[in-house]
Amino acid sequence: MPFTETEKKRRQEALQKLLAEKELQALVLIGNMTVGHSYHGDFRWYTDNHIFFQRQVAVLFPGIDPILFNYSDFVRVSTNFIADTVTLIRAQGAAKGKIGVNFEMLPTTWYRYLRTELPDAQLLDVHEDIMAIRFQHSDEEIEIYRKGAALADQGFQAALNMIRPGVTEYEIVAEIEYVSRRQGTDEHFTLIGSGQFSFNMERSLPLPVSPSERKIQAGESIVLEITPRYKGYWTQLVRMVNVGKPNEELRKMQTVARDAIRRGIEEIQPGRRVKDVALAMQAYIAKTEFVPRAPFGHVCGIDLVEERVSVDNESLFIPGYAAIVHPLVQTADGKNVIFWGETYLATREGYERLHTTGDDLITI
């Protein structure tokens, strides 16, 4: 486990406290390989075990060490996770007690098996309780965020060095991910879009998706979503690049997105709500010739999207809370949309921008 014994102890104590407060006789954490929303990360946050195939399960009981089931010889080998989990729960005398689970992560077949084999157990969803703990980031976690953001910056620089007419989207993405992988990223979520941007052309520069064999042409523009996962934690940098010549129309939209972010991050202060950032950006963009469009970003951590930066999010900023701020800006006729952004960390005084990459729309 890459985190220190101090961090390991902090997490163990936090979940042992949760077991006591909820009067749980067991807690089942299920993890898989999915990149997505907050419910995927409870397992990884506690075990720091990077799942490379299908699922793994950790089972916690009050006052004793946790048990981890996986396919290798680390801790306990299992080829039938749910059956072995039930056997373990019975052996610990918890078959008739309260068992904490995450219903988003509990497969239907597993749920039915638990109901059949442990009919007297009470299953309680405790994911939101675990998320409240996960949002309390330590200094060790904050340093991981900083390193991840630096890797995103280096990935963007690698892309700038590679971009030229004739190269493919695959080649650009390969350079980005090579920089991060050689320095220890767990995985990389890299998206790219390319095309000739013009207000007169509908969807001329698409929002970024998986790379393709498409070759970059002179006069086009590229949008990159650069998202390394370092020691389990995600950060993200979103940037656009012109190839061969400047694009004034794209620059107009990029400037609005950039300035909307500058207005929004003024709201990242202790006690302010996440929605305040989104509302500020929305109001700023609405005063221009363009139209604001969600999503405005997302809170990041063990999961890429732990919460949305949205006009409905009432969560309060606390020190260590990390958010990727990337408003979408759309033309009034709906033909074109762009986005741009980076990762910020809430501090006791306000915020810290985690990236060193500049705010200019670059032409190469």
- pLDDT value of residue 49: 85
Residues 237 and 284 occupy one common structural domain: yes
Mean of pLDDT values over 134-144:
96
How far is the C-alpha of 130 from the C-alpha of 280, rounded, in Å?
30
Mean of pLDDT values over 332-337:
94
Tens digit of pLDDT for each residue in 209-251?
A: 999 999 999 999 999 999 999 999 999 999 999 999 999 999 9
Under the banding of pLDDT at 50, 70 and 90, the label for residue 87 is very high
Tens digit of pLDDT for each residue in 33-53?
A: 888 888 899 999 999 888 887
- pLDDT value of residue 324: 98
Mean of pLDDT values over 294-305:
96
Under the banding of pLDDT at 50, 70 and 90, the label for residue 75 is low
- Least confident among 2-6, 62-66, 109-113, 124-128: 2-6
- pLDDT value of residue 204: 75
Reported as type and span, the H/E element at residue 328 is: strand 328-330
Is 73's pLDDT higher than 70? no
Task: For residue 44, count CB atoms less than 10 angstroms from its CB and return exposed for 0-12, middle for 13-18, buried for 19 or more.
Answer: buried
Residues 50 and 188 occupy one common structural domain: no
Mean confidence (pLDDT) of the chain:
94
3-class SS at 249?
helix
- pLDDT value of residue 28: 97
Residues 184 and 237 occupy one common structural domain: yes
Residues 318 and 285 occupy one common structural domain: yes
How far is the C-alpha of 180 from the C-alpha of 54, rounded, in Å?
24
Which pairs count as long-range contacts for 168-175, CB under 8 Å and 24+ apart, including other chains? 168/211, 168/212, 168/213, 168/214, 168/215, 168/216, 169/194, 169/211, 169/212, 169/213, 169/214, 169/216, 170/211, 170/212, 170/213, 172/211, 172/216, 172/222, 172/224, 173/211
Residues 199 and 293 occupy one common structural domain: yes
Residues 186 and 267 occupy one common structural domain: yes
Is 72's pLDDT higher than 50? no
Is 74's pLDDT higher than 80? no
How far is the C-alpha of 348 from the C-alpha of 320, rounded, in Å?
9
Whether cis (ω within 30° of 0) applies to the bond prior to 295 is yes
Residues 117 and 156 occupy one common structural domain: no
Mean of pLDDT values over 242-262:
98
Mean of pLDDT values over 164-193:
96
Domain of 249, CATH number, reads 3.90.230.10
Residues 175 and 323 occupy one common structural domain: yes
DSSP-assigned beta bridge partners for residue 215: 168
Last residue of a domain, one of 74, 105, 134: 134
Is 130's pLDDT higher than 90? yes
Last residue of a domain, one of 84, 119, 134: 134
| DSSP sequence for 47-110 | H-----SSEEEEEE-TTS--EEEESSSSSEE-SSHHHHHHHHHHHTT-TTSEEEE-TTTS-HHH
SS (H, E, C) 125-175: ECHHHHHHHHCCCCHHHHHHHHHHHHHHHHHHHHHHHHCCCCCEHHHHHHH
Which structural domain, as residue segments, surrounds residue 31? 5-134
Maximum C-alpha span of the chain: 70
Looking at the structure of the chain, the number of domains it has is: 2
